[in-house]
C-alpha cells in the first residue's frame, strides 16, 4: 500500500535510534503521564487509605500518607449498619434490569434486522429518538406513574424505568451486531423452514455472545451506579440501594470520613473485582460499542 515500506533497512535504523535516545517529546509525554497518574489514581488511593484509618487516626494522622495503624473497623461499622442488605438490593435491581434489557433487546434486534417493513423501521426509529432523551426529562411523569401503580418505594419501581432507558443503546449495539451476521448463514444452516425462536437459539444467540456479554457489562454498570431513580422513587431503608446508602452514610456520619470511605469502597466492590479479574472485558463493556 505504501511504497516506502520497501525501504526496510532504513526503517530498522529509525526504530533502533528511537529506542536508544529518549527524545524531548517522549520525556514530556512521560512527565504528563506521571502527572496524570497522580491526579487520577491518588484520590482512589486516598479513599482506600482513609477507609483503613480509625476516626482518631483520621484527625491526627498525616492525610496524604497511609495510616500507621490500619484497621478494618470502618468496614465492620458499615456492614453492621445494614450494608449487606443495601448491597443485595443493588444486586437484585442491577441483575434483573440487565436480564430484562438484554433479553428484550436481543429479541427486538433480531426482528428489526430480519423484517423489512415500514412498521418495524418506524419502531426502530422510535428507539433511536430515545437515545437523545435524557432520563431527567422524564423523571416527573415516571414518578407519578410508578406511584399510581403502587410501586413507589419498591425495587420493581426502580427496575421498570431503568429497563426502558437501558433499551435504546443496547438495542442499537445489538442491531449493528446481528446485522453483521451474513444472510447466507441463515440459509446454509437449513434454517429457512425453522421458526424464529429456533433460529434465535441455534444461530443468533451463539454468534452474538461477545456482544451480549459486552452490553450486559455496560448495562450492569449503569444500573449499579444509577442514582436518580432511587433518589426519586424510593425512600425507606428496606428499598435502599448502594448509591443512596453512601449518601445516607455521609449524612449520618458527617465528620466520620473513614466510615463513609469504607462505604464508598464497598459500593464499588463488584467493579473493582471485575477490574482485577477481567479488565479487558470490563473496559470493553464500558466502551459499549463506542470505540468501534
Partner 1 sequence: MNWQRWLMIAPALLFFLVFALVPMLVAVYYSGLQWNGISAPTWVGLFNWRHAFANGEAVHAIWLTVELMVLCWIIQTPLSLLLGVFLAGKQKHRAIFGVFYFVPLLFSAVAIGVTWSYLLNPNFGLIDALLKAAHIGSGNQNWIGNPSIALLVVSLIIGWQFIPFHTLLYQSGAKQIPDSLYEAAKIDGASPLNSFFSITLPQLKYTIITSSVLILTGSLTYFDLIYVLTGGGPGNATQVLAMDMYKEAFVNQNIGVGSVLAVVLAVSGVVLSILTLRFTGFSRMESQLEGM
- Which residues within the stretch 195-224 sit at the binding site for partner 1 (CB under 8 A)? 195-197, 200, 224
Give the contact letters, 163-202, x = binds to partner 1 (CB under 8 A), - = no. Answer: xxx-xx--x----x--x---------------xxx--x--
In degrees rounded to 5, what are phi and psi of residue 154? -125, 160
As a whole number of angstroms, the distance between CA 267 and CA 264 comes to 5
Minimal distance, residue 85 CB to partner 1, in Å? 18
Number of residues located near partner 1, criterion CB under 8 A: 103
As a whole number of angstroms, the distance between CA 199 and CA 133 comes to 33
Placement of cell 445516607 in the chain: 248
Rounded (to 5) percent helix, strand, coil in the chain: 80, 0, 20
| C-beta pairs of 5-14 under 8 Å, 24+ apart in sequence | none
Q: Which of 81, 99, 107, 194 binds partner 1 (CB under 8 A)?
A: 107
Alpha helix (H) residue ranges in 149-195? 155-179, 183-188
Q: Which of 16, 29, 209, 252 binds partner 1 (CB under 8 A)?
A: 29
Is residue 114 a contact residue for partner 1 (CB under 8 A)?
yes
- Which residues within the stretch 262-281 sit at the binding site for partner 1 (CB under 8 A)? 264, 267-268, 271-272, 275, 279
Is residue 65 a contact residue for partner 1 (CB under 8 A)?
no
Residue closer to partner 1, measured from CB, 148 or 190: 148
Instruction: Quote the DSSP letter at residue 4.
Output: G
Cβ count near 232 (within 10 Å)? 18
Minimal distance, residue 238 CB to partner 1, in Å? 20
- Which residues within the stretch 70-89 sit at the binding site for partner 1 (CB under 8 A)? none
Is residue 46 a contact residue for partner 1 (CB under 8 A)?
yes
Amino acid at each position: 500500500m505504501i511504497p516506502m515500506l520497501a525501504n526496510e533497512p532504513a526503517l530498522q535504523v529509525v526504530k533502533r535510534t528511537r529506542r536508544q535516545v529518549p527524545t524531548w517529546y517522549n520525556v514530556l509525554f512521560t512527565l504528563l503521564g506521571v502527572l496524570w497518574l497522580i491526579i487520577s489514581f491518588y484520590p482512589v488511593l486516598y479513599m482506600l487509605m482513609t477507609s483503613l484509618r480509625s476516626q482518631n487516626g483520621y484527625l491526627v494522622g498525616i492525610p496524604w500518607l497511609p495510616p500507621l495503624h490500619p484497621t478494618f473497623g470502618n468496614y465492620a461499622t458499615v456492614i453492621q449498619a445494614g450494608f449487606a442488605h443495601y448491597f443485595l438490593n443493588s444486586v437484585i435491581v442491577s441483575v434483573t434490569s440487565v436480564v430484562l434489557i438484554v433479553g428484550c433487546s436481543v429479541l427486538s434486534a433480531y426482528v428489526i434486522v430480519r423484517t423489512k417493513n415500514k412498521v418495524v423501521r418506524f419502531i426502530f426509529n422510535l428507539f433511536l429518538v430515545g437515545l437523545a432523551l435524557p432520563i431527567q426529562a422524564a423523571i416527573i411523569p415516571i414518578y407519578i406513574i410508578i406511584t399510581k401503580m403502587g410501586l413507589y418505594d419498591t425495587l420493581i419501581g426502580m427496575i421498570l424505568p431503568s429497563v426502558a432507558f437501558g433499551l435504546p443503546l443496547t438495542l442499537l449495539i445489538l442491531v449493528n451486531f446481528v446485522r453483521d451476521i451474513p444472510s447466507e448463514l441463515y440459509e446454509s444452516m437449513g434454517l429457512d423452514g425453522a421458526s424464529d425462536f429456533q433460529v434465535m437459539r441455534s444461530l443468533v444467540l451463539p454468534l452474538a455472545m461477545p456482544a451480549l456479554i459486552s452490553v450486559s457489562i455496560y448495562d450492569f454498570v449503569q444500573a449499579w451506579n444509577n442514582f436518580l431513580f432511587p433518589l426519586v422513587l424510593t425512600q425507606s431503608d428496606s428499598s435502599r440501594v448502594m448509591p443512596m446508602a453512601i449518601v445516607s452514610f455521609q449524612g449520618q456520619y458527617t465528620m466520620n470520613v473513614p466510615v463513609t470511605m469504607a462505604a464508598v469502597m464497598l459500593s464499588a466492590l463488584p467493579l473493582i473485582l471485575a477490574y482485577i479479574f477481567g479488565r479487558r472485558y470490563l473496559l470493553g463493556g464500558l466502551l459499549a460499542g463506542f470505540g468501534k
